């Protein structure tokens, strides 16, 4: 649920309501995360060692997401093993140990079928004949022991008894396994009345195993009774009333065919070859030339129709070959035949004889060369020769059978780089049940080299790691002489990538736990005045959490037809533990962050992010990877879960998913201890991040463990023989004995608050008392001011088993009450003075990802700074200017800058008239004359400029005296005058920076446009202008 909600946050909409939806999703995710944090703790198990002895090939298996199994607890553990190769020599043992206790049991025999009882031997049964006839009424079955080798001598091998069931009755016969090959053949003869049914019938074959008996045959006479459900099936054999022919036909040309026997012949045996002619053969003469090696003779030639043909036999002897010439002449007319002209009919029989002693006990081939000549034969066929090889053997060989040590192969070569081989032997089955191994002139071929390969000597099948798939029933063909046989194998291939299971993928610092060894980059102070305790404390480093690592992979077989449906070993939810195979090729990508100890324990070193990866030893590709993180966040050890172990019990059971599946369950015995009995304590550390870890993950030099009892002298330290904490108990009462266990930092790193135990737990030997209301646990056990719980009885306390930094087990002898209080007070004072613990932080390492992020962040900050500077400059440059001093009155209108583009003096005057109030009467005027002499209107002095002002009116008048109406640009800056002005014009009064003075024509034009024709009116208007300026 938590992972689903975390994944849904990435799909939040980005529309206008996107931010609100993201906020709601984040709130819901926070609520779900709180619920997830309240999930139950990880399951625990008894960390006892379970292993198989005398088992050639086996794996630990587990179901997906079910480790440890549901039936595991603090005092028990369950493991499932898969045994792939059977074990005929000795039954394997399964051993459970938790030092100093151990026990073992014999693994129960395999179960080949769910409804059958276990058998101690893994036997393969091969039926040699598929059908029998009255001429050869023998059914032969080969029994072969698979698995590891067995000791020489016939005393340890069993007998196999074959049972044949027919509607007409039953038949039984037994054989004893031969020590050389681990195989035997039962040749069972069927009664003659079984073939009198008139049609083909079937007989069912089954077998049972029984101990060998003393005597010449080695097997007892029993077995006449019905075997019932104890018999293992072999198959069925067909009973035919007639003997089927065993020959093959070879054409010599289009009209003549040769029929030869297809069975090996023995020395001294007489056999025949038949010549067949088509019905449309019309030639009158036919010559047959036969060439044979020494040891084989042509005895006679017999015609099928002596009335129509005559035959003449001639022999020619050579140094190495004998040649026989058979000439046939037609003596009668060709009779008409209504049958098809392409049908064949027998024409000539040629008898051969094999000499005695020609094979030397070994099967050999004798070539026979045939050449045919007759009139009308095709020219290209006259020189054709056909060579037929006859297999001559002193033995009556019935079949060729490959014997493999196992028919199931788990292809671990891609994981280890080591090829996997299964030896194969080829044997021949003779008439009478004899077995002979074949080692020469053998041919072999694998039907699918992408699944399984065969060696050049045909003595083994193997996988090299280059195969790409598995298969059920992949075929490997073998042949020797004319005999052929096939071997079917099942190959399981790993489905990559590997699954790397880590009990905790985020390793954090353990608060208050420091272990010997300086931190990386930290130097030891060399000052002479430093106290020994401080020097030792500074020589300690932080302790990070540890985690267990397992490497798992499923194995499957692909269909032979190229389909996609896989068949999984044990089932689709089962994984094989291949940690012992891939641990040498597993490593942590950044060893500064974490390390892998023994391929099974992950140890945090310094904060960072890295991954565990497994590389292929063949191609250096990554077979599996798991990310992990080491952080400097602090976690506390909440409590110790303690389980006393006073013995180990073991139970084994067989599974039904596979014949080699075995489940082992062991549990700790915690009954009332006897006097002077040794007790081992199994410890689990419970952390505040809801993770659990067995104490076996941590180095015993880093664990400071102490055990105390309420009764003085009840607990004594045991001799150290490993990392487990063990004590000797003098005895317990009827209500049991409580043992209080406390976890401290190792002795060299105990200073100040580090003398306080990190966590504690209680274990009961025997039956605990009636449950009472337990006090609430402190929020941080590391801040508790009392050591491991213990009661003061008789003025003293006994503590045992302090496993410190040196790993030795020492006892704290009895102390007085005052000394104990004094030590507690000193520890409390040191804690108050020290405040926060002095920890040497691990050096921070900047990764490439962090460097890139920091560079990107710097670029963003620089862009923001440039934007701010640009905005400030813009504001300072383009802010509005301050108004003039004269316009400081808020009630007065703001001044404006006017730019006039044009020659319309009337409009200009109107604008000036609107902006300036009328001047007082009697203040100056503008003389205007309407005479036409062109006399200029001059203004002697408009207004005296203030002191210090530059006079530029003369230059302005000189530039403007030119008559005419021209375009000009005139800039006038003005401000409204205050309401009341003194005659003497105060300093802050506005001043006209430029005065418009025009010639007579201009003034007259202005007067006409404004309707001011009277000079007095014009003078009054000009005075108003002057007054406003």
Q: What is the pLDDT, as a whole number, of residue 710?
A: 78
Whether residue 71 contacts residue 667, with contact meaning beta carbons closer than 8 Å, is answered with: no
CB atoms under 10 Å from CB of 211, counted, come to 10
Classify the C-alpha dihedral 695-700-704-705 as positive or negative: positive
Going by their DSSP bridges, the two strands 101-106 and 131-132 should be labelled as unpaired
CB atoms under 10 Å from CB of 1006, counted, come to 21
**Residue 644 pLDDT greater than 50, yes or no:** yes
Q: What is the pLDDT, as a whole number, of residue 847?
A: 74
**Residue 516 pLDDT greater than 70, yes or no:** yes
Phi-psi group of 801: left, alpha or beta (phi > 0 → left; psi -120 to 50 → alpha; rest → beta): left
* Helices within 835-939 (DSSP H only): 848-878, 905-915
pLDDT tens-digit map of 767-807: 666 554 444 433 333 333 333 333 332 333 333 333 333 33
Look up residue 737 and give its two tokens: 């004995």
Q: Distance of CA 56 to CAs 59, 87, 115, 406, Å? A: 10, 8, 27, 12
Whether residue 447 contacts residue 585, with contact meaning beta carbons closer than 8 Å, is answered with: no
pLDDT tens-digit map of 335-353: 666 566 678 889 999 999 9
Alpha carbon distance 725, 99 (integer Å): 10
Task: Mention every residue, 6+ apart, whose C-beta is less than 8 A from residue 426.
Answer: 400, 401, 402, 403, 437, 438, 439, 442, 458, 478, 480, 485
Q: What is the pLDDT, as a whole number, of residue 595?
A: 94
Alpha carbon distance 757, 781 (integer Å): 7
Whether residue 666 contacts residue 77, with contact meaning beta carbons closer than 8 Å, is answered with: yes
Mean pLDDT of 829-857: 62
Segment (H or E) for 392: strand 385-392
pLDDT tens-digit map of 809-825: 333 333 434 444 555 55
**Residue 1019 pLDDT greater than 70, yes or no:** yes
**Residue 909 pLDDT greater than 70, yes or no:** no
- Write out the E strands in 182-320: 183-189, 201-210, 232-239, 247-251, 256-261, 270-278, 285-293, 296-303, 309-317
Q: pLDDT averaged over the chain?
A: 74
**Residue 829 pLDDT greater than 90, yes or no:** no
Point out the least confidently predicted range of 90-99, 250-259, 402-411, 765-774: 765-774
Whether residue 999 contacts residue 966, with contact meaning beta carbons closer than 8 Å, is answered with: no
**Residue 696 pLDDT greater than 80, yes or no:** yes
Q: What is the pLDDT, as a whole number, of residue 219?
A: 82
Q: What is the pLDDT, as a whole number, of residue 294?
A: 81
**Residue 944 pLDDT greater than 60, yes or no:** no
Using CB atoms within 10 Å of the CB of residue 242, give its burial: 0 to 12 exposed, 13 to 18 middle, 19+ buried: exposed
CA-based radius of gyration for the chain: 56
What angle in degrees, to the nearest 10, is found between the helix axes of 905-915 and 1000-1010?
A: 70
* Better-scored residue on pLDDT, 220 or 557: 557
Q: What is the pLDDT, as a whole number, of residue 366?
A: 84
Whether residue 363 contacts residue 347, with contact meaning beta carbons closer than 8 Å, is answered with: no
Q: What is the pLDDT, as a whole number, of residue 715?
A: 75
**Residue 759 pLDDT greater than 70, yes or no:** yes
Whether residue 392 contacts residue 358, with contact meaning beta carbons closer than 8 Å, is answered with: yes
Establish how many alpha carbons lie within 13 A of residue 221's alpha carbon, considering only the half-sphere containing its beta carbon: 0
Q: What is the pLDDT, as a whole number, of residue 798?
A: 36
Q: What is the pLDDT, as a whole number, of residue 975?
A: 47
**Residue 894 pLDDT greater than 60, yes or no:** no
Alpha carbon distance 310, 340 (integer Å): 25
Architecture per CATH, 265-332+343-392: Sandwich (2.60)
Omega before 100 within 30 of 0, i.e. cis: yes
Mean pLDDT of 674-693: 89
Domain ranges of the chain: 265-332+343-392, 499-516+536-639
Q: What is the pLDDT, as a whole number, of residue 904?
A: 53
**Residue 461 pLDDT greater than 50, yes or no:** yes
**Residue 494 pLDDT greater than 90, yes or no:** yes
Q: What is the pLDDT, as a whole number, of residue 1022?
A: 73
Mean pLDDT of 230-243: 86
**Residue 641 pLDDT greater than 90, yes or no:** yes
Q: What is the pLDDT, as a whole number, of residue 152?
A: 56
What value, to the nearest 5°, has the Cα angle with vertex 405 and ends 400 and 410?
A: 125
**Residue 652 pLDDT greater than 90, yes or no:** yes
């Amino acid at each position: 649920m938590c992972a689903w909600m975390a994944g849904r946050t990435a799909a939040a909409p980005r529309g206008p309501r996107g931010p609100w939806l993201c906020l709601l999703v984040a709130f819901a995710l926070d609520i779900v995360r709180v619920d997830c944090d309240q999930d139950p703790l990880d399951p625990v198990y008894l960390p006892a060692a379970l292993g198989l002895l005398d088992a050639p090939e086996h794996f630990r298996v587990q179901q997906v997401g079910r480790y440890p199994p549901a039936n595991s607890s603090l005092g028990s553990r369950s493991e499932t093993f898969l045994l792939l190769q059977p074990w005929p020599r000795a039954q394997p043992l399964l051993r459970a140990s938790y030092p100093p206790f151990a026990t073992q049991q014999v693994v129960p025999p395999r179960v080949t079928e769910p409804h059958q009882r276990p058998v101690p031997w893994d036997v393969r049964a091969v039926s040699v004949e598929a059908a029998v006839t009255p001429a050869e009424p023998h059914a032969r079955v080969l029994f072969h022991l698979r698995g590891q080798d067995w000791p020489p001598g016939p005393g340890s091998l069993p007998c196999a008894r074959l049972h044949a069931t027919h509607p007409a009755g039953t038949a039984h016969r037994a054989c004893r396994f031969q020590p050389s090959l681990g195989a035997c053949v039962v040749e069972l003869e069927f009664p003659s009345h079984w073939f009198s049914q008139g049609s083909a019938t079937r007989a069912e074959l089954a077998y049972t195993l029984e101990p060998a008996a003393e005597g010449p045959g080695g097997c007892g006479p029993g077995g006449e009774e019905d075997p019932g459900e104890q018999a293992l099936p072999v198959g069925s054999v067909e009973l035919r009333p007639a003997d089927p022919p065993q020959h093959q036909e070879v054409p010599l040309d289009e009209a003549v065919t040769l029929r030869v026997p297809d069975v090996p012949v023995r020395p001294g045996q007489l056999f025949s070859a038949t010549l067949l002619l088509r019905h449309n053969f019309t030639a009158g003469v036919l010559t047959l030339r036969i060439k044979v090696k020494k040891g084989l003779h042509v005895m006679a030639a017999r015609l099928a129709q002596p009335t129509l043909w005559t035959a003449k036999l001639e022999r020619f002897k050579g140094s190495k070959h004998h040649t026989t010439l058979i000439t046939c002449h037609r003596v009668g007319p060709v009779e008409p035949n209504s049958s098809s002209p392409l049908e064949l009919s027998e024409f000539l029989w040629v008898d051969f004889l094999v000499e005695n002693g020609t094979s030397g006990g070994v099967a050999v081939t004798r070539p026979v060369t045939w050449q045919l000549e007759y009139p009308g034969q095709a020219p290209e066929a006259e020189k054709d020769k056909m060579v037929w090889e006859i297999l001559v053997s002193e033995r009556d060989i019935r079949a060729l059978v490959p014997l493999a040590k196992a028919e199931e192969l788990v292809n671990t070569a891609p994981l280890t780089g080591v090829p996997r081989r299964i030896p194969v032997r080829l044997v021949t089955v003779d008439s009478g049940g004899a077995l002979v191994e074949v080692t020469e002139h053998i041919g072999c071929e694998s039907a699918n080299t992408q699944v399984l390969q065969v060696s050049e000597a045909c003595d083994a099948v193997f996988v090299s790691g280059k195969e790409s798939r598995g298969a059920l029933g992949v075929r490997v063909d073998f042949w020797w002489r004319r005999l052929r046989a096939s071997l079917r194998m099942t190959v399981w291939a790993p489905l990559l990538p590997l699954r790397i299971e880590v009990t905790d993928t985020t390793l954090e610092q353990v608060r208050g736990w420091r272990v010997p060894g300086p931190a990386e980059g930290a130097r030891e102070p060399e000052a002479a005045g430093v106290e020994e305790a401080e020097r030792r404390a500074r020589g300690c480093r932080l302790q990070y959490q540890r985690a267990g690592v397992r490497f798992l992979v499923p194995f499957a077989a692909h269909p032979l037809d190229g389909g996609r449906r896989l068949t999984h070993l044990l089932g689709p939810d089962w994984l094989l533990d291949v940690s012992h195979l891939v641990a040498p090729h597993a490593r942590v990508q950044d060893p500064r962050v974490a390390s892998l100890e023994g391929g099974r324990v992950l140890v945090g070193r310094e904060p960072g992010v890295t991954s565990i990866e497994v590389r292929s030893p063949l191609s250096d590709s990554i077979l599996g990877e798991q990310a992990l993180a080491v952080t400097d966040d602090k976690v506390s050890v909440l409590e110790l879960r303690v389980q006393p172990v006073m013995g180990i019990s073991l139970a084994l059971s067989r599974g039904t998913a596979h014949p080699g599946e075995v489940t082992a369950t062991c549990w700790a015995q915690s009954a009332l201890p006897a006097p002077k009995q040794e007790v081992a304590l199994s410890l689990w550390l419970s952390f505040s991040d809801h993770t659990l870890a067995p104490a076996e993950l941590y180095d015993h030099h880093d664990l400071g463990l102490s055990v105390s009892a309420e009764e003085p002298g009840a607990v004594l330290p045991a001799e150290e023989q490993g990392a487990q904490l063990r004590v000797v108990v003098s005895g317990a009462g009827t209500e049991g004995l409580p043992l209080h266990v406390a976890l401290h930092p190792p002795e060299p790193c105990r200073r100040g608050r580090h003398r306080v135990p990190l966590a504690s737990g209680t274990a009961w030997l025997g039956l605990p008392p009636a449950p009472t209301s337990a006090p609430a646990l402190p929020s941080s056990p590391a801040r508790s001011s009392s050591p491991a719980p213990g009661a003061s009885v008789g003025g003293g306390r006994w503590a045992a088993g302090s496993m410190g930094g040196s790993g030795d087990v020492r006892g704290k002898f009895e102390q007085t009450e005052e000394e104990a209080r004094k030590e507690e007070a000193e520890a409390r004072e040191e804690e108050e003075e020290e405040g926060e613990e002095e920890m040497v932080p691990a050096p921070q390492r900047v990764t490439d990802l962090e460097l890139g992020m920091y560079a990107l962040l710097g670029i963003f900050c620089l862009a923001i700074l440039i934007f701010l500077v640009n905005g400030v400059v813009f504001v300072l440059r383009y802010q509005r200017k301050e108004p003039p001093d004269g316009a400081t009155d808020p009630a007065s209108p703001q001044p404006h800058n006017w730019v006039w583009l044009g020659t319309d003096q009337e409009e200009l005057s109107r604008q000036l008239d609107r902006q300036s109030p009328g001047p007082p009467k009697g203040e100056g005027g503008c003389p205007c004359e309407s005479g036409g002499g062109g006399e200029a209107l001059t203004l002697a002095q408009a207004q005296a400029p203030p002191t210090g002002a530059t006079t530029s009116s003369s230059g302005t008048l000189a530039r403007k005296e030119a008559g005419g109406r021209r375009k000009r640009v005139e800039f006038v800056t003005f401000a409204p005058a205050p309401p009341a002005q003194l005659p003497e014009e105060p300093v802050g009064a506005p001043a006209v920076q430029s005065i418009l003075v025009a010639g007579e024509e201009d003034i007259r034009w202005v007067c006409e446009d404004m309707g001011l024709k009277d000079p007095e009116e014009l003078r009054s208007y000009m005075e108003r202008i002057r007054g406003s300026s």
